Amino acid sequence: MTLDLMAKLADSDPKIAELVEAEGRRQFEKIRLIPSENYVSRAVLEATGTVLTNKYSEGYAGRRYYEGQQLIDQVETLAIDRVKSLFGVEHVNVQPYSGSPANLAIYLAFLQPGDTVMGMALPMGGHLTHGWSVSATGKWFRSVQYEVVRETGRVDMDAVRELALKERPKLIFCGGTAIPRTIDFEAFASIAAEVDALLAADIAHIAGLVAGGAHPSPVGHAPVISTTTHKTLRGPRGAMLMSDADHAKALDRAVFPGLQGGPHNHTTAAIAVAAAEAATEEFKTYAHQIVANAKALADALNARGFSLVSGGTDNHLILVDLTSKDIAGKPAAKALDRAGIELNYNTVPYDTRKPFDPSGIRIGTPAVTTRGMAPEHMPQIAAWMDDAVEAAKKDDGDALDRIGAEVREFTKAFPIPGWSA
């Protein structure tokens, strides 16, 4: 572990320091394929641990409810200006604590309880906060859900339009958590305009790809955009709302005082750092490499008989239906973790199994790309995955441990920021 990040913690609370150290080693020794996870830079890591965490700052720059904001206002303004420039938007709010509260702010800003909202169904790849039944958004609002085509795994925009014309939602969400294909923001915008709905683009998973030019941007199509600041954007655990000028005031009021109090200033600083990093040519190369790695991994998995939802990927994410492999997602994910490959079990479209024991696994390439892994490494990762799945079916723990040892040896060549062996 980098000593200057841990020295005081080790003296003050050796148990927590020990757990942090162990987590750093675990992240170093694993091939981490959870698509919502990444490794932040050393600079982002340091920004999250600054004295900015000591300061309360309810309100917005120039309009605070506590004194002593002279420097905090500059930090937040810098973060906002950098994000505006990065995404080409008119308004940015960097205060939401995470992606779900950011989406809740959209509801609070523009809907009344009982209004109709339309989003992608959770089992099809959508998000809980897009109106799914167990979420507050599905309990407090009338929710209608669009799906993907069973045969293709892709969204049929004609079907989305037909549903919107029938249900007349006030808010339409596009985006989600398990969508391996390009989101057609222009088509969604056309449908929203036709039914007089507000279009909100949730780009939490693809924000880094959008910033790096590896995925089309919703700017100019969706008046309101939500995103987390980690995942492909490679920033801290936080969120942002972006919009045109017409929707700015309502969004700001919904975030504060509508849903939360003071922002987390250390996170705001880290968002500013991440936005500056994402504006570089190096980051653009990184964003495109994420997609190249995902395509290479998808090809390698296809070649080994894995069934990929929609047949492949256009972005960072691959959704795998393991039904043809005669194993469920949960035992496969746990076996793969033992074998040194970290991912998550996940429902697939039209899944016949329950969400806590689904048919699929969800994988992505942001973290391995940050470490410097490239398309030529993806066939080996696919081979390990295939071997581990077969070992899991035979309950062959020795084989899983052997693969884990090979993975640990492999990852030694790929350092991670903020931790060293």
The active-site residue, picked from 32, 82, 181, 231, is: 231
Cα distances from 266 to residues 27, 85, 356, 373, in angstroms, run 23, 21, 35, 30
Which is catalytic among the residues 42, 237, 253, 338?
Answer: 237
How many CB atoms sit inside 10 A of residue 125's CB? Answer: 28
Residue 204: per-residue pLDDT? 98
Among residues 278, 311, 333, the one where a domain terminates is 278
| Burial category of 4 from C-beta neighbours within 10 Å (exposed 0-12, middle 13-18, buried 19 and up) | exposed
Q: What angle do CA 125, 128, 132 make, to 5 degrees?
A: 95
Position 190 pLDDT exceeds 80:
yes
Annotated active-site residue 228? The verdict is yes
- Same domain? For 273 and 299 the reply is no
The pLDDT, as a whole number, for residue 343 is 98
Helix (H, G, I), strand (E, B) or coil at 81: helix
Instruction: Please tell me whether the overall predicted TM-score, pTM, comes out greater than 0.85 for this model.
Output: yes
Q: Give the span between the Cα atoms of 103 and 202, in whole angstroms.
A: 8
Separation between Cα atoms, residue 202 and residue 218, nearest integer Å: 9
Which of 278, 312, 338 is the last residue before a domain boundary? 278
Q: Which of 398, 379, 388, 282 is nearest to 341 (CA)?
A: 388
Given a cut of 70, whether residue 180 has pLDDT beyond it is: yes
d(CA 186, CA 155): 14
pLDDT average, residue stretch 319-334: 98
Structure tokens at 163: 């549903």
**pLDDT for the residue 8:** 86
Length of the chain: 421
Task: Name which of 317, 281, 340, 367 is nearest 41 in CA terms.
Answer: 367
Task: Say yes or no to pLDDT of 2 above 70.
Answer: no
> Does residue 70 belong to any structural domain of this protein?
yes
Q: Is 127 annotated as a binding residue?
A: yes
**Among 202, 277, 314, 321, the one annotated catalytic:** 202
User: Quick one: pLDDT band at residue 5, thresholds 50, 70, 90?
Assistant: low
How far, in Å, CA of 1 to CA of 288, rounded?
Answer: 30
Domain termination site, one of 256, 278, 300: 278
Same domain, yes or no, for 74 and 101? yes
| Same-domain status, 253 and 387 | no
* Catalytic residue flag (residue 352): no
Residue 231 among the catalytic residues:
yes
Phi, then psi, of 239 in degrees rounded to 5: -155, 165
Which pLDDT band holds residue 3 (cuts at 50, 70, 90)?
A: very low
User: What is the residue range of 169's domain?
Assistant: 51-278
Q: What is the mean pLDDT of the chain?
A: 96
Per the annotation, does 99 bind a ligand?
Answer: no
pLDDT above 90 for 79: yes
Give domain status of residue 150, yes or no: yes
Reply yes or no on whether the pLDDT at 322 is more than 80.
Answer: yes
Structural Rg of the chain based on CA atoms: 22
The pLDDT value given to residue 420 = 87
- The answer to whether 58 is a known catalytic residue is yes
Instruction: Clarify whether 32 is annotated catalytic.
Output: no
Tens of pLDDT, residue by residue over 201-256, are: 999 999 999 999 999 999 999 999 999 999 999 999 999 999 999 999 999 999 99
- 284 within some domain: no
Kindly give the pairing relationship between strand 224-228 and strand 239-243: antiparallel
Q: Is 202 a catalytic residue?
A: yes
Count: domains in the chain: 2
Distance from C-alpha of 213 to C-alpha of 210, rounded to nearest angstrom: 5
Q: Of the listed 21, 37, 46, 58, which one is catalytic?
A: 58
